[in-house]
Structure 1
Amino acid sequence: MATPETQAEIEQILGQVPSWMETIAAPASDHSWGIFRDLTLGETELSPREKGLIGVGVAAAISCPYCTHFHREEARLADVSEDELEEAVSLASSTRYFSTTLHGNEIDMDEFVAETAETVDHLKEQEAAPAGAD
Structure 2
Amino acid sequence: MATQQTIDEIEETLGHVPGWMEQIAEPASDHSWGIFRDLLLGDTELTPREKALVGVSAATAMNCGYCTYFHKEEARFAGVSDAELSEAVNVASMTEYFSTLLHGNEYDHDTFVAETDAAFSHLREQGMAHADD
TM-score when normalising by structure 2: 0.94
- TM superposition shift of 1:105: 0.4
1:112 aligns with 2:112: yes
- TM superposition shift of 1:101: 0.4
Aligned length: 128
CA distance in 2, matches of 1:37, 1:102: 36
Q: From the CA coordinates, give the structure whose radius of gyration is larger.
A: 1
Cα deviation 1:2-57 (Å, max 9, x = unaligned): 11110000001011000000000011101100000000010100001101111111
List, as ranges, runs of 4+ consecutive aligned residues in structure 1 with deviation greater than 3 Å: none
Cα deviation 1:88-124 (Å, max 9, x = unaligned): 0000000000000000000101111111110011000
CA distance in 2, matches of 1:116, 1:85: 27
CA distance in 2, matches of 1:126, 1:47: 29
**Which secondary structure state, in structure 1, belongs to the residue aligned with residue 27 of structure 2?**
helix
TM-score when normalising by structure 1: 0.94
Give the AA of the match of 2:43.
E
Q: Which structure 2 segments of 5+ residues have no match?
A: 129-133
**Which secondary structure state, in structure 2, belongs to the residue aligned with residue 27 of structure 1?**
coil
What residue is the counterpart of 2:98 in the other structure? 98
Identity of aligned residues (%): 66
What residue is the counterpart of 2:29 in the other structure? 29
What residue is the counterpart of 1:79 in the other structure? 79
